Structure 1
């Protein structure tokens, strides 16, 4: 989110569904060289929910609790206004703001290294298919998705 957001992500030209036609957008969030989590933007409310498989990591780091919310808070509204997503949905562009929250029901990965990308894929698939995020044995679940 360095200001290089591509219009074709939202406008329905390159990808078949415009953000104007959906309520939520799922996307990976990468803390460079450290961690990945899944984000879900609820466009109408401006709430970004983080589905994080390594919660204790992000709760302690300023990047996830200050830097990332500030970056999203600046770039996402600008992007949504520029690509007319908000106006198409009848949302007041002047009062629109991004808020940040963590989902509580996310299975936790078993190690500090290596599984966060797998869990982004697992959670993306499950949320995209309206499935439960529950995993009775997170280690076995991650291994099954790797295979």
Structure 2
């Protein structure tokens, strides 16, 4: 993020639940910064988290887009001797069904696994297009 064109400042939130990205300015040209996020704790059935873009001087001017982490089930995070294999199979079937739901596919982010890190990049022209001075806040659900 520090080398992304137009980025003035990058800060971690005090509770380390997100990052603030300050741009000098944003125009009608789409900006698509990549944010590397590392999984610190194993969590199954993660919820989508918002990326909020707003004008620093007029917070009523804002937009929001959700991103999703790579999917994980309970069986992904527990030891095999702790999990019921039949229950794991049911979770995998349910997760696959949810991923194929057209309502969930309207404007998802693209998550690319890179050696234990998740890189979040927008998959839609509307994801981070804004016409205002912005701060991006990533919040964990």
From the two aligned structures, give the one with the greater helix fraction. 1
Q: TM-score range by the shorter chain?
A: under 0.3
From the two aligned structures, give the one with the greater strand fraction. 2
User: TM-score scaled by structure 2?
Assistant: 0.26
Which has the bigger relative contact order, CA under 8 A and spacing at least 6? 2
User: TM-score scaled by structure 1?
Assistant: 0.25
